[in-house]
Structure 1
Amino acid sequence: LTFSNEQGDLPTCGTHKYCIWQFNFREFDLDSDIFAVDSIELLKQSGIDLAKNTQDGIDSKRFAELLMSSGIVLNENVHWVTFHSGYDFGYLLKLLTCQNLP
């Protein structure tokens, strides 16, 4: 997750480096969740340990609560820009609605 202003400037969060966040959820399940195989392979090659996330990952319900209360969801001043993120948005909708997707 990356934020920027209208000019595309990234936040530095009080440092000289840009702030970009990656969230690994404990509830993601290779056996029951829909995913793109090539994306999972890329994650594994990048060092993401999906089994470890099951134990140490972020609680998705708590994340959804905090994201909803943050003011960035359903905010007409926030624009979402993505790249090949169909599954990511599907999973985000699943988290925010607490519903399985069709």
Structure 2
Amino acid sequence: MVKETQAKPKRKATGAAAMGAGPGRPKGVPNKTTTELKQAILNAANDVGEDGEGKAGLVGYLRTLARSEPKAFSSLLGRVLPLQVTGEGGGPMQ
């Protein structure tokens, strides 16, 4: 019978664990897959456009979406508009 054992992590002479792979993706840098997916969505919307043939590109697609699916379009607006609206001088809106 063969007994399998787990490999022990490499250690420095001091007994501390040796560095493995780096810390990973730097903070704030988007995942490559996420970036590619966002670009693919924008490209598809641009290709479809207002008339399904690419007329007016992305803006045309968004116009069509606003007319046919106002709830979905409003959701998009909520994501791109600033969360807090201020008046002149940074005060509240009047």
- The TM-score normalised by the length of structure 2 is 0.22
In our comparison, the structure showing a higher alpha carbon Rg is 2
Q: Which is helix-richer, 1 or 2? A: 2
